[in-house]
Chains A and B, each alone.
Chain A
């Protein structure tokens, strides 16, 4: 019932004019419930869909029918109707041919359309904001996030931007509700919402008033959060929520579809810059702007550059970082920039599959046209003009195209669900991905173009049939002529060549994937679970408060039966790169700024290394390394290589910006901090019992080693944390294995994508060569019969057919391999530790394609060699 409602309603919404929708919905629902009561739900379903289909068809027919009765048009429509009816009858008469052709078309069109759908939604459609072409992303010159100092200078001085706004990603805990909740959102300046020109759905957004100190406890909710957490209650505006323990008032709700800077943002709160604003040390802002009338991105950039330079001169020396200029990029480009290339590559691959599919359909049509020579000759003899016959054949082709297009569109709806994984959260257009009129039009257009192009040649060649020659030959079935035969061979060779290109690319992505997952993450993936607990600054501000919380949670977690060990860390490896710090080896001279290495800093505690299985030479942290003890650090091997190359780091000393020195007591194995395919970076860990720096680095992730599975462990973990503080939400409970898997998710998708396109091309190419050889065997039945009657052995016949097939395959390989060599370098960005000219991949592809082709040729070959010469002579 719900499924019927869902799909049916969506069809209604898409395909019916608004005036008709509600009526249809009410009538259909009534019909459904009535039929269900009297004749059962199955019957009701059938009735519902039948009536729905009729409504949709009549709706189209109703619009098409309003053409004056006795016009030229009407006559033309009549003939067209005749042709279409005839086409349907003749296609229905050869179901195998029809089904094969439609399936092949559907594969090609489905692949291309689903990728077009993604590209349309991300690259072609404008962003869902007012005058989106004027929106720009503003960054520091080196693509870094600007500092508040820069932002303030720009905001005060800019003329080229009519509006400028900043945002900072923020995570808050929603408490005072049944289950405390972790929410992701943004702190934004008051110019943020006006800049996008999107009005709130309810209530209002921020004004400058809500950004004054002491009056900033307000929040605007996203549509998703409003629906999911507040039941779409319009009364939520004006209500007070507890966020991070602070009472804030809900000012408004944004409409569905407003997402910035990413689709995961659930709320927006006012941002004010504290006393640190003047400093240029911290770069953490996202900045967007709107170009003023007639100003280009380049001139806005020049202006912001100048403002940055002025600001740098103002603050003077002693800066930690060199001040950078600005970089202004159109917002759309900035957001889709990274996936643009990958999407275009996939589209190119899908285009190749479509080409191969086209070749197959052309071959099928040629074969069909040849076998219908007699029928066509008869119709010509009875007075049908050549034009009429070409039109008839073309109508058939177009009918096929429409069927293939519809089937392809169905495939595309499924394919797009798969593909949307490729679009990162950061692209706010992702929610619009789906089948719409544009996509349907695209599929139909491609389908029609395909068949018009590839149906025309067979139609023309069939119409060219020489009647006299055919009658003289006395053949009941035509041979199609040498020209057609050659054309079929050429198409088949082209298909094999294209398939090689696709297979090589998919082979390379597969080898890249294999090479990535063979990397050692550096920690145990089995039996380790990570969870995120976030402590609010307000509640855990007091010195030692966090450490006490950690110790209490560890105590209760370690007491859970089945748990071996547990520990805390700033961020679990591979979930977030984490922050870095400047550290200095005390026995070395201070390196020049450009050679300074900033190691990743993680604050961990006792039990972390033991739990994650990261090997430590020397020792890891214990509870003895407390506030009173000597400051100790554990560094990884990459850091040893960077700081003390060739030396033993144990016992060395480190200093941060200021404060005490830290003694290295352990050297840990390298861990891939960010992604399986990114090399380990220098990393430095210290204990939370000794860390007195900013709270950003304090642990938020709990890691647990246990033999329990995730489902059994999750509730007990939550319980253990709740026992210590019921207001701390536990989120993101995942096994280490899943985290590592996730870090290769994108690569897995691209492997699957290219892999399935490659496999499709292989099947299509094999089908193509099978069709050609098989048809040629049928055509040469008489010849084979005569040869066998004259003493040719089965082996001779088999060899003859195989030789013909081998010729196609070898020609295809001879063209395909150089083509692949020329093409694969464009796919280099997709590869990992595999050369685009990887010999092994090329060899495997050629062998696979050769093998499959031999099979495809063997079937008709064996059939030919087993022919009974008498029968084959008699039937011809």
Chain B
């Protein structure tokens, strides 16, 4: 376990969630990872990571409203303040490391 630090996949998932915006579902994040990062993550692995991120307090989830076109309500995720900070911190670390090289 990586304590409060972000793992690589965790970071990518958080970034994916950030790109789809608040209220994105696991399926939306899956799509965005495929589109932006070319990475085909399975729903199972995403649920697993979201569970972990939620325990760390980096995201929150709730069951959203039913979609306008009909259908059943989906579970939506949202970055918390701590989540946003963790992402910024990770970006910071990377930029500093790149700057050294």
| A interface residues, Cβ below 8 angstroms from B | 20, 22-31, 50-51, 53-59, 61-62, 68-69
Instruction: State the 4 A-B residue pairs at the shortest beta-carbon distance, nearest first.
Output: A58-B44, A54-B42, A54-B44, A55-B44
State the Cβ distance, A179 to closest chain B Cβ, in Å: 35
Q: In the docked arrangement, what's the CA distance between A27 and B29, Å?
A: 11
Q: Does B39 contact A (CB under 8 A)?
A: no
The answer to whether A23 touches B44 (Cβ under 8 A) is no
User: What are 24 pairs between A and B in contact, CB < 8 Å?
Assistant: A23-B74, A23-B75, A25-B72, A26-B71, A26-B73, A27-B25, A27-B26, A28-B43, A30-B27, A30-B74, A31-B27, A31-B43, A50-B42, A51-B43, A53-B44, A54-B42, A57-B44, A58-B42, A58-B44, A58-B48, A59-B44, A62-B47, A62-B51, A68-B1
Q: Does B91 contact A (CB under 8 A)?
A: no
The answer to whether A23 touches B26 (Cβ under 8 A) is yes
Is chain A's binding surface mostly helix, strand, loop or mixed? helix
> A29 to chain B: which residues have CB within 8 Å?
72
The answer to whether B27 touches A55 (Cβ under 8 A) is no
* Given contact pairs A23-B74, A23-B75, A51 touches B42 in the complex (Cβ within 8 A): yes
* Given contact pairs A23-B26, A27-B25, A62 touches B73 in the complex (Cβ within 8 A): no
* Given contact pairs A62-B51, A69-B1, A27 touches B74 in the complex (Cβ within 8 A): yes
> A20 to chain B: which residues have CB within 8 Å?
47
The answer to whether B42 touches A26 (Cβ under 8 A) is no
State the Cβ distance, A62 to closest chain B Cβ, in Å: 4
Encode B56-100 as 1/0 by CB contact (under 8 A) with A: 000000010000000111110000000000000000000000000
State the Cβ distance, A757 to closest chain B Cβ, in Å: 39
The answer to whether A54 touches B45 (Cβ under 8 A) is yes
Set B42, B63, B72, B75: member contacting A55, Cβ < 8 A: B42
> A51 to chain B: which residues have CB within 8 Å?
42-44
State the Cβ distance, B48 to closest chain A Cβ, in Å: 4
Taking CB as reference atom, which chain B residue is nearest A34?
A: B27
> B43 to chain A: which residues have CB within 8 Å?
24, 27-28, 31, 51, 54-55
> B42 to chain A: which residues have CB within 8 Å?
50-51, 54-55, 58
Total number of A-B contacts with CB less than 8 angstroms?
A: 58
Q: In the docked arrangement, what's the CA distance between A25 and B27, Å?
A: 11
Set A23, A25, A30, A69: member contacting B47, Cβ < 8 A: A23
Q: In the docked arrangement, what's the CA distance between A483 and B33, Å?
A: 60
> A62 to chain B: which residues have CB within 8 Å?
47-48, 51
Q: Which of A23, A54, A56 counts the most B-chain CB atoms under 10 A from its CB?
A: A23
Q: In the docked arrangement, what's the CA distance between A59 and B45, Å?
A: 9
> B63 to chain A: which residues have CB within 8 Å?
22
Please tell me the size bucket of the interface on B: 10 to 19
> A58 to chain B: which residues have CB within 8 Å?
42, 44-45, 47-48
State the Cβ distance, A438 to closest chain B Cβ, in Å: 25
The answer to whether B45 touches A26 (Cβ under 8 A) is no
The answer to whether B27 touches A24 (Cβ under 8 A) is no
State the Cβ distance, A64 to closest chain B Cβ, in Å: 11
> B48 to chain A: which residues have CB within 8 Å?
58-59, 61-62
State the Cβ distance, A504 to closest chain B Cβ, in Å: 50
> B25 to chain A: which residues have CB within 8 Å?
26-27
State the Cβ distance, A525 to closest chain B Cβ, in Å: 54
> A69 to chain B: which residues have CB within 8 Å?
1
State the Cβ distance, B50 to closest chain A Cβ, in Å: 10
> B45 to chain A: which residues have CB within 8 Å?
54, 58
Taking CB as reference atom, which chain A residue is nearest B3?
A: A69
* Given contact pairs A31-B27, A62-B51, A69-B1, A26 touches B75 in the complex (Cβ within 8 A): yes
Encode B33-47 as 1/0 by CB contact (under 8 A) with A: 000000000111101
State the Cβ distance, A872 to closest chain B Cβ, in Å: 52
Q: In the docked arrangement, what's the CA distance between A811 and B31, Å?
A: 66
Q: In the docked arrangement, what's the CA distance between A56 and B48, Å?
A: 11
Taking CB as reference atom, which chain B residue is nearest A31?
A: B27
> A56 to chain B: which residues have CB within 8 Å?
44
The answer to whether A26 touches B72 (Cβ under 8 A) is yes
Taking CB as reference atom, which chain A residue is nearest B73?
A: A26
The answer to whether B47 touches A24 (Cβ under 8 A) is yes
State the Cβ distance, A11 to closest chain B Cβ, in Å: 13
Taking CB as reference atom, which chain B residue is nearest A59?
A: B44
State the Cβ distance, A77 to closest chain B Cβ, in Å: 14
Given A54-B45, A59-B48: 10 more A-B contacts, CB < 8 Å: A22-B63, A25-B72, A26-B72, A27-B74, A31-B27, A50-B42, A54-B43, A54-B44, A56-B44, A58-B44
Q: In the docked arrangement, what's the CA distance between A281 and B30, Å?
A: 76
Q: In the docked arrangement, what's the CA distance between A51 and B48, Å?
A: 13
Q: In the docked arrangement, what's the CA distance between A59 and B48, Å?
A: 7
Q: In the docked arrangement, what's the CA distance between A535 and B62, Å?
A: 60
State the Cβ distance, A261 to closest chain B Cβ, in Å: 40
Q: In the docked arrangement, what's the CA distance between A382 and B44, Å?
A: 41
Q: In the docked arrangement, what's the CA distance between A23 and B42, Å?
A: 14
> A27 to chain B: which residues have CB within 8 Å?
25-27, 43, 74
Q: In the docked arrangement, what's the CA distance between A29 and B27, Å?
A: 11
Q: In the docked arrangement, what's the CA distance between A59 and B72, Å?
A: 23
Taking CB as reference atom, which chain A residue is nearest B25?
A: A27
Q: In the docked arrangement, what's the CA distance between A58 and B43, Å?
A: 9
> B71 to chain A: which residues have CB within 8 Å?
26, 30
Q: In the docked arrangement, what's the CA distance between A50 and B74, Å?
A: 20
Taking CB as reference atom, which chain B residue is nearest A67?
A: B1
> B44 to chain A: which residues have CB within 8 Å?
51, 53-59
> A50 to chain B: which residues have CB within 8 Å?
42
The B1-47 residues at the A interface (CB cut-off 8 A) are: 1, 25-27, 42-45, 47
State the Cβ distance, A60 to closest chain B Cβ, in Å: 10
> A31 to chain B: which residues have CB within 8 Å?
27, 43
Q: In the docked arrangement, what's the CA distance between A59 and B43, Å?
A: 11
Taking CB as reference atom, which chain A residue is nearest B43?
A: A51
Q: In the docked arrangement, what's the CA distance between A53 and B42, Å?
A: 10
State the Cβ distance, A75 to closest chain B Cβ, in Å: 15
Q: In the docked arrangement, what's the CA distance between A59 and B47, Å?
A: 8
Q: In the docked arrangement, what's the CA distance between A58 and B71, Å?
A: 26
> A26 to chain B: which residues have CB within 8 Å?
25, 71-75
State the Cβ distance, B5 to closest chain A Cβ, in Å: 13
Q: In the docked arrangement, what's the CA distance between A26 and B65, Å?
A: 13
State the Cβ distance, A20 to closest chain B Cβ, in Å: 7
State the Cβ distance, B25 to closest chain A Cβ, in Å: 6
> A68 to chain B: which residues have CB within 8 Å?
1
State the Cβ distance, A63 to closest chain B Cβ, in Å: 10
Q: Which of B45, B47, B73, B74 counts the most A-chain CB atoms under 10 A from its CB?
A: B47
State the Cβ distance, B75 to closest chain A Cβ, in Å: 4
Q: In the docked arrangement, what's the CA distance between A61 and B42, Å?
A: 14
Q: In the docked arrangement, what's the CA distance between A69 and B47, Å?
A: 22
State the Cβ distance, A570 to closest chain B Cβ, in Å: 55
> A54 to chain B: which residues have CB within 8 Å?
42-45
Q: In the docked arrangement, what's the CA distance between A429 and B42, Å?
A: 40
Q: In the docked arrangement, what's the CA distance between A305 and B93, Å?
A: 88
